[in-house]
């Protein structure tokens, strides 16, 4: 009894202020499942707001650099503004037609690619440090600071419109600082969700939860497209204010872990790890012992079986995904569809179909990987299917608007499916790997290693696209197909291990299959 009384003040002290206020006001204590709902909801909107701010750059590209529409980008000599009525042309020409120095020159496309590179390079480098810090700091405070900082520097980019700034290095530095604060997001939210959910149905739960990426992209696209005609600065400031507001919600409500709020797991929420023939400890053991775990080092995290191949796979997977994230609206607006060019706003809205497909792909990949208990097989299969999807979208996407939408949806499903699976369920599995002996202080570090490595590819893809697209979009799609192929091949050893394990289980006809060999295999 004395021990429980000593723990109570500490538990109350570490609860988020919003949770304490709610429990005090209603005079009851939240259940474990209620905390899980709060965690999924708050982290969902938190990371959706990150992607909403990240997506705006791709929407504004054509407004900053409208002069390259006829440089090897389309199939038809029709003018790019064909879908704009004469009154609409007059209304938005001062925003969308003249461009913005220094991006409206002959090298504007490559300059925009360099800004993407700077943002994603700092983002990927910052991810490693963010993961290291995330396992050592209060994730609620860490995530709040990252979101407010992201909102500040996203807004500062947009303020260049009203302050009449035309210095390339201003936009470059602001985007680099925005990338630094953006890097706090993913390791933090995956670590928090990993603390609250065991491995059972993790792929499906995280597949649904990972829809925040596409929801954020869609939200960012719609907001930026709708505000573009009022001045491109609004397309940055509005998402910047949005993420700062959501950051305040994170500070008030987000419970970092069951231990921090004194919650105890219920029913089947503890998911045991099978190793060999026996059952070992749960993925995350509640109680003081977990809290006292020493955070796993960077090199030690790299040595966890499965981390390296999945990290390298994500390098090429995110190269493909982020090329679409940053360049798809630009590609659509500069490509004649059924002999007609779409306006920048219409192209931005149409590009959301790629993200809708991504939502379906993420959920489907998570569900399939749970049913098969085979993360590597699922991820590799999706990457291989992405190759013909990319080919057909490039070859036949211009035939009609409906064909473009259908092929874009399918491409988004296969491109974002493995990307979503690796950055969520796989990262959480590896961050609670049996080789860690129950240590839960590796989630943010492992997530940062995998997504940080992937973000290097995410930086490389848009940069190369900025240069290659000026000569040939067919060459860009060839690059993307090759990247998808390499991503699938990098998982070959893990795929073979999973298949061998399934064959062995099938022959033995005994019990349930072991935990995913893609995670358990020694590499």
Find the CATH number of the domain harbouring 25.
1.20.1250.20
- pLDDT on residue 264: 74
- Asked if residue 199 is part of any domain, the answer here is yes
**What's the pLDDT at 111?**
86
pLDDT of res. 62: 78
Beta strands in 201-328 (DSSP E): 272-275, 278-282
pTM score of the predicted model: 0.68
Residues 329 and 478 occupy one common structural domain: yes
| C-alpha closest to that of 344 among 92, 73, 104, 87 | 92
Give strand pairing partners of 424.
none
Q: Residues 245, 356: one domain?
A: no
Count of structural domains, the chain: 2
Strand partners, 275: 278
For each successive 10 residues of the chain (523 residues), what is the average pLDDT? 39 74 82 90 95 88 66 34 36 53 80 85 84 79 95 95 92 94 88 75 72 86 88 94 96 89 60 37 36 57 78 91 87 87 83 89 87 87 95 93 94 89 72 49 70 82 83 92 94 88 77 49 39
Query: Is the same domain home to 200 and 61?
Result: yes
Angstrom distances, CA of residue 29 to CA of 176, 283, 287, 356: 43, 25, 18, 38
Residue 72: the pLDDT is: 33
Residue that is last in its domain, among 244, 262, 280: 262
What integer pLDDT is reported at residue 298 of this predicted model?
62
Farthest-apart Cα atoms in the chain, separation: 81
Please tell me whether the peptide bond between 438 and the residue prior to it is cis, using omega within 30 degrees of 0. no
Tell me: do 153 and 29 sit in the same domain.
yes
The token pair at 176 is 């680099």
The answer to whether residue 93 sits within a structural domain is no
Could you tell me if 203 and 366 are in contact, meaning their C-beta atoms sit under 8 angstroms apart?
Answer: yes
212, 352, 371, 372, 411 from 358: Cα distances, Å: 10, 10, 20, 21, 8
Bridge-partner residues for 278, per DSSP?
Answer: 275
Is 300 domain-assigned?
yes
Which range marks the domain in which residue 149 is found?
13-68+101-262
272 assigned to some structural domain: no
Give which of 444, 15, 514, 450 is closest to 194, Cα–Cα: 444
Dist CA 69 CA 83 (whole Å): 14
**Residue 220: inside a domain, yes or no?**
yes
Instruction: Answer yes or no: do 55 and 119 share one domain.
Output: yes
Check whether residue 341 and residue 476 sit in a common domain: yes
- Is residue 452 within 8 A of residue 307, CB to CB? The reply is no
Please say whether the beta carbons of 390 and 172 come within 8 A: no
What distance in Å separates the CA atoms of residue 96 and residue 89, rounded to the nearest whole number? 9
Asked if residue 478 belongs to a domain, the reply is yes
pLDDT value of residue 441: 55
The set of residues, in sequence order, having a beta carbon less than 8 Å from that of 34 and lying 6+ positions away, is: none
Q: Is 193 helix (H, G, I), strand (E, B) or coil?
A: helix
**What pLDDT does residue 282 have?**
35
Q: What is the pLDDT of residue 50?
A: 95
Q: Are residues 257 and 308 in the same domain?
A: no
How confident is the model at residue 277, as a pLDDT? 37
**333/428 same-domain check:** yes
Does residue 239 sit in the same domain as residue 322?
A: no
Residues 151, 243: Cα–Cα separation, whole Å: 6
């Amino acid at each position: 009894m004395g021990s429980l009384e000593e723990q109570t003040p500490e538990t109350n002290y570490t609860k988020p202020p919003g949770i304490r206020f709610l429990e005090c006001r209603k005079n009851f204590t939240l259940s474990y499942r209620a905390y899980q709902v709060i965690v999924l909801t708050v982290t969902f909107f938190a990371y959706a707001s990150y992607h909403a701010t990240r997506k705006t750059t791709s929407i504004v590209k054509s407004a900053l650099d409208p002069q390259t529409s006829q440089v090897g980008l389309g199939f038809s000599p029709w003018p790019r503004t064909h879908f704009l009525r004469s009154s609409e042309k007059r209304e938005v020409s001062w925003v969308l037609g003249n461009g913005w120095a220094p991006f409206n020159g002959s090298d504007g496309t490559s300059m925009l690619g360099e800004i993407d590179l700077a943002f994603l390079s700092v983002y990927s480098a910052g991810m490693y440090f963010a993961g290291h810090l995330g396992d050592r700091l209060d994730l609620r405070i860490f995530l709040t600071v990252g979101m407010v900082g992201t909102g500040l520097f996203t807004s500062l980019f947009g303020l260049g419109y009203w302050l009449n700034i035309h210095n390339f290095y201003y936009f470059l530095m602001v985007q680099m600082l925005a990338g630094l604060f953006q890097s706090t997001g993913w390791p933090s939210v995956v670590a928090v969700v990993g603390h609250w959910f065991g491995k059972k149905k993790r792929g499906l739960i995280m597949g649904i939860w990972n829809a925040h990426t596409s929801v954020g992209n869609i939200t960012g696209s719609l907001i930026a497209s709708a505000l573009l005609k009022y001045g491109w600065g609004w397309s940055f400031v509005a998402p910047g204010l949005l993420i700062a507001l959501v950051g305040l919600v994170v500070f008030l409500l987000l419970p970092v872990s069951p231990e921090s709020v004194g919650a105890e797991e219920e029913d089947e929420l503890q998911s045991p790890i099978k190793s060999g023939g026996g059952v070992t400890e749960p993925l995350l053991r509640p109680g003081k012992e977990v809290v006292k775990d020493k955070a796993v080092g960077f090199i030690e995290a790299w040595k966890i079986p499965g981390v390296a191949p999945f990290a390298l796979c994500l390098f090429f997977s995110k190269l493909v995904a982020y090329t679409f994230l940053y360049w798809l609206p630009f590609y659509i607006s500069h490509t004649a569809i059924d002999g007609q060019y779409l306006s920048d706003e219409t192209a931005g809205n149409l590009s959301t179909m790629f993200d809708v497909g991504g939502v379906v792909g993420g959920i489907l990949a998570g569900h399939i990987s749970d049913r098969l208990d085979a993360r590597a097989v699922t991820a590799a299969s999706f990457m291989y299917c992405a190759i013909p999807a990319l080919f057909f979208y490039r070859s036949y996407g211009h035939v009609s608007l409906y064909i473009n939408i259908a092929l874009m949806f399918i491409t988004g499903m296969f491109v974002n499916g493995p990307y979503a699976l690796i950055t969520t369920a796989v990262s959480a599995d590896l961050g609670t790997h049996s080789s860690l002996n129950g240590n839960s202080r590796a989630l943010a570090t492992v997530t940062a290693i995998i997504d940080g490595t992937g973000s290097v590819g995410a930086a490389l893809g848009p940069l190369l696209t900025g240069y290659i697209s000026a000569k040939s979009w067919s060459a860009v799609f060839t690059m993307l197909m090759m990247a998808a192929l390499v991503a699938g091949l990098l998982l070959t050893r893990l795929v073979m291990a999973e298949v061998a394990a399934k064959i062995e289980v099938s022959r033995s006809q005994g019990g349930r299959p072991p935990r995913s060999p893609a995670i358990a295999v020694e590499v």
